[in-house]
Amino acid sequence: MNKIRPILSILSSLCFTQLTTLAKDTAPSLRAVKIIEGLDSPVFLTAPDKSTDALYILEKAGRIMIYDRKAKKILPKPFLDISKQIKIKMNEQGLLGMAFSPNYQTDHRFYLYYTNTKGDTQVSRFTHQPNGKAINEEKLITVAQDFKNHNGGWIGFGPENYLFIALGDGGSRNDPKKRAQDKSQHLGKLLRIDVSGDYGYTVPKDNPFLSDPSALKEIYAYGLRNPWRCSWDLKTNQFYIADVGQNQSEEINALNNNKLKGANFGWRAREATKPTPTKSVGGPKQHDAVDPIFEYKHSIGRSITGGYVYRGKIKSIQGHYFYADWVMPKIWSIVYDGNKVTSTHDWTDQFSQGEQNISLISSFGTDPQGEIYIISHKGDIFYIEK
């Protein structure tokens, strides 16, 4: 997450660094309603499919809690507790990501991304046993981490039912071990694997670097610093990545599946559209590097939290991609038409009316109906409604 950062004073005026000159969107009146409180550092929310009223909420220390939407309450017993497999030494470690199998109702599988007791990244498959009383773990990918930050943490299934895994560059500053551009390492990459078999995983035959003897075959895209929350908009097949910046800018990338394949997002030579400032790191933009669709300066916010494109029941915000900042409690949305960002909107005041102040936004969540939730690390979850 790279959420441990000094908080600067918030400027009185808000001025985005944009790739195009945009008019502020005249979006409708919305509100954020608190539906859950008292959780232990929640970091993610998801659900398997439309057949259930359950939302699954990840707490960073290792528990997965279930919220029953019909009963409007958190169930007392965790769905799963792997806290003994996690040792948190820094804010960016813990249970970070979850994805249900596209065939969850029949194969009873789900996938977790967490940092283990050594601080290394662990991606595992969990399977309900036939008696329903046990959940077994099969470890799929383990990636050594010699620093404690930039752990990434997102996993999710794409339009072809392959599992995507987003990893940070391994931490510290300036990617000191030059991992993001090194295709012989998993760190700083977006991976894509096929987990449809009975055991383990295979590499899809159309992954982009299969013919490169120096590259790991799981790599689908590279050049990432710390992708803190990614998402698919399956209506347009656009993939969104919110990549946390270092000294200058926070960025949002969006590519369709064809352009995502083999993409280089530019770190560490570039931070968003700007060269990194030190001579030993910065330099000309790589010829194949992808520019973000949107960025904002560190006078506006210092640690982006990515979200989702809204596909729920509110027609007037269809296609809005919601995102936030961890350090400065701001919530925004942009509309991207596949070529450029056409509008922006700041929702902070609408969502924080009265005494309600939504801060420490660790993630967004979405349910099978396309509605969006805002997750505060303080223990609260909010629901966006008209």
Q: What are the pLDDT digits (tens) for 39-65?
A: 999 999 999 988 889 999 999 999 999
Q: What pLDDT score does 130 carry?
A: 79
The one-letter amino acid code at 310 reads Y
91, pLDDT greater than 90: no
Measured between alpha carbons, how far is 241 from 166 in angstroms, rounded to an integer? Answer: 9
The two tokens of residue 33 are 């309603």
Q: What is the pLDDT, as a whole number, of residue 359?
A: 96
Beta bridge partners of 35: none
Dist. CA 245–CA 237, nearest whole Å: 25
pLDDT over 80 (residue 264): yes
Q: Which CATH number fits domain 31-385: 3.40.50.300, 1.10.10.10, 2.60.40.10, 2.120.10.30?
A: 2.120.10.30
Please state the rounded mean pLDDT for residues 272-294: 83
Closest by alpha carbon to 340, among 42, 2, 9, 19? Answer: 19
Cβ–Cβ < 8 Å for 25, 337:
no
Mean local confidence (pLDDT), 28-41: 94
Residues 240 and 205 sit within 8 Å (Cβ to Cβ): no
In DSSP terms, 292 is beta-bridged to none
> Residue 97's pLDDT is what?
98
With bands split at pLDDT 50, 70 and 90, how would you rate the model's confidence at 187? Answer: very high
CB 60 within 8 A of CB 42: yes
Q: Tell me the mean pLDDT in the region 183-206.
A: 98
Residue 156: both structure tokens together: 């999710």
Output the CA–CA distances (angstroms, integers) from residue 239 to 160, 252, 341, 375, in the order listed.
13, 10, 15, 21
Q: In the chain, pLDDT over 70 holds for what percent of residues?
A: 91
Domain assignments of the chain as residue spans, ordered by start = 31-385
Whole-angstrom distance, CA of residue 119 vs CA of residue 81 = 18
